[in-house]
Amino acid sequence: MNWKTIETISIVNRDGDVENIQIQHDGNFYKIQNEFGNMSFEFDVSSGFNFADTLQAIITADINNEITQFLNKQDFKDSHGDNDNVNDTPTQVDLFKNVKSMNKKNNGLNIKINKSSKKY
């Protein structure tokens, strides 16, 4: 069984440290392994697809909730005209601060710019 690395993804852990995760394939199964090789798991195509689909749905729902909460949050001023939370940075602002370190291939973003060739 010869594992071939098909993608390496950088993730940021709770402490802010970056760790490389390798996605490997041997022709029949996939394996996700950390850069130290001390943590890994193997799976077939069907269960891997289900895992990726579920993980994406969980993270998408969490991001949507964070964005909704951030956009619905209002800044109130006290009687002196000062913001209530002047020194507080909402956690939502920090959510994407390391997005460039997330994926070397596309800088962690999947953005397409739609341009129209028609001029009106």
Helices (H) and strands (E) in the chain, counts: 2, 4
CA-only gyration radius of the chain, Å:
20
Flag whether pLDDT at 43 surpasses 60.
Answer: yes
For residue 76, the model assigns a pLDDT of 43
Q: What is the pTM of this model?
A: 0.56
- If you average pLDDT over every residue of the chain, what do you get? 76
Where are the domains positioned within the chain? 4-101
Distance, in Å, from the CA atom of 18 to the CA atom of 98, rounded to the nearest integer, reads 10
